[in-house]
Amino acid sequence: MPMRASQAVVLLALASPASAGTKNWLDTWGAGEKGQLGSGGLLDSWKPRTVRQLLGTAPVEVAFGYAHALSLSFSQEVYSWGQGRFGALGR
């Protein structure tokens, strides 16, 4: 069954400087009614917004599920946000 735009993060961008592990950031946009954008709110955003809670963590990998996301930092820490049904956030 295809997902509607209101059901998923539509796009993701990860930007980093030449020096891995410093001042990296993560931008997300799309549907956010379950907190899956990491903005701290439940609103959709159709322009890129930086996930402020990840500033300085140097995200190196990001994975998105139906209404949640996980990020692995350069220092091997895992961050999760969004809807945590069925243990999706690992808590």
pLDDT of 23 reads 54
Token representation of residue 50 = 């930086």
**How many alpha carbons fall within 13 Å on the CB side of residue 23?**
3
- Strands laid side by side in the 45-50 sheet: 9-15, 25-30, 45-50
Q: Mind listing the pLDDT tens digit for each residue in 2-51?
A: 444 444 444 454 544 443 444 578 888 888 899 999 989 999 988 888 89
Instruction: Name the 3-class secondary structure at 50.
Output: strand
pLDDT of 80 reads 93
Are residues 91 and 43 in contact, defined by beta-carbon separation less than 8 angstroms? no
Q: Mind listing the pLDDT tens digit for each residue in 68-83?
A: 999 988 899 999 999 9
pLDDT of 24 reads 75
